[in-house]
Amino acid sequence: MSKTVLELQEITKSFSGTPVLNGISLKAEQGEFITLLGSSGCGKTTTLRIIAGLETPDSGRVLLSGKDMTDTEPNKRDVNTVFQNYALFPHMNVEQNIGYSLKIRKRPKTEIRGEVQKMLSLVQLTGYEKRMPSELSGGQRQRVAIARSLINRPQLLLLDEPLGALDLQLRRQMQQELKRLQKKLGITFIYITHDQEEALNMSDRIAVMMDGRFQQLGTPSEVYDSPKTAYVARFVGSANIVYGAVECVEGELVRFTSTDGSGVFHCRGNRFEPGRPVTLAVRGEQAVLTKEFEKGSRGLFGTVKEKSFAGGMLRIAVSLHNDLEFICSRHGIDSELVPGDRVRISWEPQNACPVDLDGEERI
Amino acid sequence: MSGNREKKKRRLRGEALTVLPLYVFTLLFVLGPIVYMIVLSFLTRAETWGVLPEFTLQNYKNIAEPVYLETFWESIKLALTSTVLVILIGYPFGYFMAKLTAKWKKRTMMLLMIPFWTSSLIRLYGWIIIFRAGGILDKLLMALHVTEKSVKILYTYPAVVVGMVYALLPFMIFAVYSSAEKLDFSLVEAARDLGASPMKAFLTVSLKLTLPGLLSGVVLTFVPSMGLFFIADILGGNKVVLVGNLIQEQLMKTHNWPFAAALSVALLALTSLFMFLYRKLSGVKDLEGLV
C-alpha cells in the first residue's frame, strides 16, 4: 500500500519568453527515490523550485499528497529542500540552523534541543552544535543542511545537486549515507544530479531531462539498458549512436546498412520495415574491435584515431565517415591497436538498442 | 642566515618609511588639534581677544547651566529623530536597491551620486526655495487643495529635520546597500522553505545579515547630525539652536575660545559615549564601511 506523495501534471514554465519546462508530469510514491538527471539548463532545478513553491508554474498543477498546492506558499508545504550551496544561515550555529524550522513554529526550547540532538546523531555530527557554518568542512555543511531539512519530517525532500561540491571519495560516501537515511526514514526523495553514475547508484527511478522535457522515466536498468532516445543513451550509458537504414528483417534480428558498413541488431519488440532509417545505441564496452577481417564481412569500418586511459578503462576512438567517432572501451591498460589501423567494429545483436532521435539532431 | 635577517630588517625599515608620512599627517592634523582643543578648554578667556594661560574649570561649569544643557538635549533629540527617519527611508531603499538588475543599480547609484557634485550649502538653499512662503511646496499643496494659505514650514523645526534627513540619507543608503548586496537570496528562500513567512524570513535572516550595514549607517548618520550646524542655521533661522550652532557662535561671534573648546570636548565625549554604548549593545565589532 503505497500512496502518491507528489504529482506533477503537465507543468510548463518560461522565463522572459524562453521556455524552460515543456510539460513535465511525474508521480512519486511514498519512500521512492527519484532522480532528475540532465545537464545544466535542462530545467531540473526549475522543476524542483516549482515543487518547493519557490517558483509558480505557467500552467499545470502540483499535487502534494493528493491536494492541489500549485499556488500555496513554500512555508505552507510539507516539503523541504537541500539547496545546492547548502544555504546554511551564516549567523547561526549548527544547533540554531538545524532547529530553525522548529523555532519558527514556536516549539518549546527543550523539545527543539532534543530534536536537534536526534538529527545530529542521525547525520553523525554529535558534538558540533556550537560550531558556526564557516568552521565546518564541505561534507559537514552538507550534513547540517540535510539535518535542517529533515527535522520537520517532511513527506518529501528535494535535493538540488547536494553532493556537487564534494570531492569524489566524499561523494561516494555521502551517496551511501543519503540512501541509508532515505531508507531509514521512508521519505520520498527527489534528487537532482548531472552525474549519471550517482543517478544509477541511488535511484529507484530516473527521469532523464533535456530541454524541459522528460526524455525517459524509468528504473536505472531500464534507462541504462533500454534507452528510449539517443540523448538518454549518450547521457546515461555514454553510448555510441549509429545511424543507418534497415536492410532486411529476419525474425527478431534486423540487418541495417550505413555509410560505414553494416550490422545486426535485435528488434526488441519493435517493428522495422526495410528502407526506413534507424538509429542505434551501442555502448563502447560492448563493441568488439578486430584488426584482421575478411573482405565483405559485416561491421562498421573505421580508422583508429587515438588511445587514452581513463577510469580503469582503455578508450579507443575510431573515426568513421562524416566526422563521426565511435568510442570503444576495454579493461586493461593497452591493446595492440595503434592509431592509423583499419578496424572492424561489431557487436552482439542484443547489445545494439534502437532509439528515437527525439531531441538529438542528426549530424 | 644573518644576511637574511639583515635584509628583513631593512625591508621593515623601508615599510616604516612609507607609512611615516601618514603618521605625521595624523599627528599634525588630527591628534594635534584635538589636544590643542582640550588644552584650550581649560584656559581662561582674555578680556577682549584670545586666551590667558591660566588654568580653570569654569568653562565646564558653564556648560552645566540649564540653557546650555537644554541645547545639548535639543541636539540629541534632533539627531535621534533624524536618525530614525533616515533608517525608515534609507534601509528599505538600500535593501531594494541591492535587488535591482545591474543596469538599474548603476542608474540609481548615479542619481544618488549626482547631488554630491554640488556644494551641500547650495543644495540647502534649494530647500529654501521649496519651503519659503509661496514657494514650490506651498504652490503644490494649494494646487492639490490641501491647504488654503502658506504652511510656513521654513525656519521651523520640521524644516531642519527634513534638511538633516536629506543630507544624511545617502550615507545610510550606501551602507545598507553594501551589506544587502552581499546577502545571498537563497538564504531567504531556505528560510521560507523551512516554514518562515515572508516577514519572519526577513526578520530572522535578511535583517540579521544586513544589520552591520544598518548599524554603520546609524553611526554615519547619528554622529554627524550631532554636530551639523549650518542646516539648523539655514533652514531653522535662529529658532533651532544646536550644540554646533552654539560652538560656532562662541567661536566666531563672542570670541570665547575656551568655552567653545569646552563645548566641543563635551560634544566629542557625548558622541564617543554613544558610540561606546552602541557597540556594547549591538555587539558589532567592525562596522561596515567604517574603518
- DSSP SS3 for A133: helix
Instruction: Read off the pLDDT band of B283 (50, 70, 90).
Output: low
A253: cell is: 534480428
Chain B residue numbers with beta carbons less than 8 Å from the beta carbon of A80 are 193-194
Nearest residue to B260 (alpha-carbon basis) of B274, B277, B247: B247
- Closest Cα of chain A to B187: distance in Å? 5
Tell me what pLDDT residue B3 has.
61
pTM for this structure? Answer: 0.80
Chain A residue numbers with beta carbons less than 8 Å from the beta carbon of B200 are 104
Tell me what pLDDT residue B104 has.
94
Nearest residue to B227 (alpha-carbon basis) of B272, B191, B283: B272
A275 Ramachandran zone, left/alpha/beta (phi>0; psi -120 to 50): left
Instruction: Read off the pLDDT band of B196 (50, 70, 90).
Output: very high
Tell me what pLDDT residue A62 has.
95
Interface of A with B (CB under 8 A): 52-54, 73-75, 79-81, 83, 85, 87, 89-91, 100-101, 104-105, 148-149, 152
Q: What is the distance between the alpha carbons of residues A226 and B191, in angstroms, rounded to a whole number?
A: 41
Chain B residue numbers with beta carbons less than 8 Å from the beta carbon of A52 are 193
pLDDT tens by residue, A88-130: 999 999 999 999 999 999 999 999 999 999 999 988 899 999 9
Question: Is the CATH number 3.40.50.2000 carried by domain A230-354?
Answer: no
Cβ contact B190–A83 (<8 Å): yes
What does the mean pLDDT of chain B come to?
A: 87
* Gyration radius (Cα) of chain A, Å: 24
Cβ contact B192–A149 (<8 Å): no
Tell me what pLDDT residue B154 has.
87
pLDDT tens by residue, A142-186: 999 999 999 999 999 999 999 887 888 888 888 998 999 999 999
Instruction: Read off the pLDDT band of A362 (50, 70, 90).
Output: very low
Instruction: Read off the pLDDT band of B289 (50, 70, 90).
Output: very low
Residue B141: half-sphere exposure toward Cβ, Cα within 13 Å: 17
Instruction: Read off the pLDDT band of B288 (50, 70, 90).
Output: very low
Instruction: Read off the pLDDT band of B35 (50, 70, 90).
Output: very high
Domain boundary assignment for chain A:
4-225, 230-354
Instruction: Classify domain A4-225 at the CATH topology level.
Output: Rossmann fold (3.40.50)
pLDDT at A359 over 70: no
Cβ contact B191–A89 (<8 Å): yes
Closest partner residue to A85 (CB to CB) among B186, B191, B209 is: B186
pLDDT at B291 over 50: no
pLDDT at A41 over 70: yes
Tell me what pLDDT residue B31 has.
92
More reliable by pLDDT, B281 or B135: B135
Instruction: Read off the pLDDT band of A44 (50, 70, 90).
Output: very high
Nearest CA in chain B to A80: B193
What value does the mean pLDDT take over residues A64-74? Answer: 93
What value does the mean pLDDT take over residues B260-284? Answer: 85
What value does the mean pLDDT take over residues B107-132? Answer: 89
pLDDT at A286 over 80: yes
The amino acid present at A353, given as its one-letter code, is C
> What stretch of H or E contains B67?
helix B66-97
Nearest CA in chain A to B201: A104
- Closest Cα of chain B to A104: distance in Å? 6
pLDDT above 70 covers a percentage of chain A that reads 98
Instruction: Classify domain B67-282 at the CATH topology level.
Output: MetI-like fold (1.10.3720)
Q: What is the distance between the alpha carbons of residues B203 and B182, in angstroms, rounded to a whole number?
A: 17
- Closest Cα of chain A to B290: distance in Å? 21
φ, ψ dihedrals at A151, nearest 5°: -65, -25
Q: What is the distance between the alpha carbons of residues A43 and A273, in angstroms, rounded to a whole number?
A: 36
Helix, strand, coil percentages for chain A (3-state, nearest 5): 30, 35, 35
CA distances B262 to A175, B38, B72, Å, are 71, 7, 13
- Closest Cα of chain A to B212: distance in Å? 12
pLDDT at A360 over 60: no
Residue A228, Cβ density class (10 Å: 0-12 exposed, 13-18 middle, ≥19 buried): buried
- Closest Cα of chain A to B57: distance in Å? 49
Q: Cα A65–A70–A76 angle (5° rounding)? A: 70
Tell me what pLDDT residue A48 has.
95
Tell me what pLDDT residue A179 has.
92
Nearest CA in chain B to A101: B194
Nearest CA in chain A to B186: A87
Cβ contact B190–A85 (<8 Å): no
pLDDT at B286 over 60: no
Cβ contact B184–A89 (<8 Å): no
Nearest CA in chain A to B197: A75
Nearest residue to A54 (alpha-carbon basis) of A89, A19, A79: A79
Which range has the worst mean pLDDT, B72-81, B93-102, B121-130, B234-243? Answer: B234-243
Cβ contact B187–A52 (<8 Å): no
